[in-house]
Structure 1
Amino acid sequence: MTDTTTITVAGDDGYDILVGRGILDRVGDALPVAARKVLIVHAPTLAERAGALRQQLLEGGREVLLAEIPDAEQGKRVEVAAFCWQVLGQADFTRTDAVIGFGGGAVTDLAGFVAATWLRGVAVVQVPTTVLAMVDAAVGGKTGINTAEGKNLVGAFWPPRAVVCDLELLDSLSANERTAGFAEVVKAGFISAPEILDIIEADPVAAVDPHSAGFRRCVELAIEMKARVVGEDLREAGLREILNYGHTLGHAIEHAERYRWRHGAAISIGMVFAAELSRLAGRLDDASAQRHRTILESLGLPTTYRAGAWPQLLATMQRDKKSRGGMLRFIVLDDIARPTVLRAPDESLLFAAYQEVAG
């Protein structure tokens, strides 16, 4: 019998997140019984696996279509969403039918957005295939696409019907891909679950090995943390904002790199920046700030960025969806697992914090 962990997101729009190895056969059970038609949205690299999932669902008596979209952030464009809407329209999808997001974070973001907007909302089941998607993008109901002005500026809150995290899907990922995704796991450790940090410090190599007990424990802890937070605050009215730790600068770096960087690499630098901002604001001790660098570097993640990029990064952050009324907001730490909001910090403080990550 497959060892499956079930993590539940509470609330009116609650759902289960399944974590285990070899559990793709659970996807059909996660779909609404009334869904006769299903669209599987996937990246090109997953065409063969998406075809196998389609065959599995066909055998269950459903009509199943495939929509292959560009890989990574290139898939999160309005033109790609429009292509999916066209597929749904031509196949006469109704409000009882469903969408499956089968891929990394960009795919689950796009698939969720398509589901949220088709007929004002149809069911979506997320089947994340990367570490990043499992612990972050696929959980929580945030969906979105990018524009020329920034990342995820257009989107909707649309909780999935279920999330199926089959750890076997991670076996084929490169070590770099797994490590980049692990940045979001580290984030969970710093804002809520310090056991994650202890596991990484004990053995950084084993921590990112998808066959190790430590890896699975870290992933489950990160998912549990996010499930708890989004269950209390779906629409980011309060508590959920802590999940943005490292993301304000991280998203600006992604934008500056035209989304050619892996998300986790940018967020890694963003977390070091947030830690230094916390330290310089008199909230976080030196050792805890240094712990960010030590852990992230032990995983091979970057902790510095271009010195001359600050003016461009600041301008992008000021357009960020996390700013309110033109006022910048940063999630900082008063201590490990004690996140809080720093509102409208002085630009000289921000610049000083950036100097600590400027390489």
Structure 2
Amino acid sequence: MNEPEKDPQQDVPFSSRKLLECIDVGANRFGWADRPKTPGSRREGEWLIGYGMASASRANSLMQSSAEIEMTPDGRATVKTAMTDIGTGTYTILQQIAAEMLGMPLDQVDVLLGDTSLPSSSGSGGSWGANSAGSSVYVAAEAVIAEFATRLGVEADSLTLKDGHAIAGNRQIPFTEILNGDTIRVVGTIKPGDTSEKTNQASYGAHYAEVAVNATTGETRVRRLLTVGAAGRILNEKTATSQCYGGQIWGIGYALEEDLVVDARNGLIVNHDLAEYHVPVHADVPKLDVVLLEERDRHASPLAGKGIGELAIAGVGAAINNAIYNATGARIRSYPVTMDKLLPHLPEEVGAAA
């Protein structure tokens, strides 16, 4: 009912938007129709059971980024960029992009990152790393293809690269023969263009949570957590899913545990270590479920992908908090929802029954 046809603030079309599909797929997969219809109506012993959901969006940004591809006489390729890999799979993603674009086996492509002497990249952050750095590798690979085409005297569009060979007409020429002892170095650069201004670009998702709240202590346990996301082309399903797991766990943390305490007298942080600043541990995390929808967003980047890392964080806390309300009827409006905040608001009959 509230779904707009275009961005109501900027009055521009959405580049792509699968929010409603995320909600529907998640509802069916999670069993949303079986949720407790009345807050506090489902109970298992001393545990009150509740379901909650929340939608999610994360603006997509393409940042200026450059990458070099070096082709050596032995037919190997090396991707070079000052991008970082902070555990998000950058080495793997850039290797895959270059290998696919150049028709090479993965083990023939090397990736060199993290040195300021290399072409400047977008850096990691803001869910823009894979698409920005990856798009610069894409552009560099196109330049390599153009150079191969020139050396073979054909149009780049007529050239097929496969298994370390270039196929043009009835000829199949190995890269080593095309290079003929030379080393080719090309740099590709990507930067935001018209599409970033003429469209609203964002990744979308929906989170579903089941919680159990102890009627005696107010303790909350997350029992199930599902995230459905649409973030354009998924460059690597395994690494993207892993990032979503991390986002879900962070969401559990900020919903139930993480609380930065500042001493009002001097402005110093009181709980500045992991003994007092609580984060989720294995016992706090249930089996996580992630579904990534098929999508291509040609406005977002040459790779047709969008950011995903922070999409999996946005809204998780709201889904958990909504589930707590569904379980207890208590609406807590500040994070984290700790026992001391929740316990006074539990229904009196619940406390009496406990």
> TM-score scaled by structure 2?
0.24
| Larger of the two Rg values belongs to structure | 2
- More helix by proportion, 1 or 2? 1
**Larger RCO (CA under 8 A, 6+ residues apart):** 2
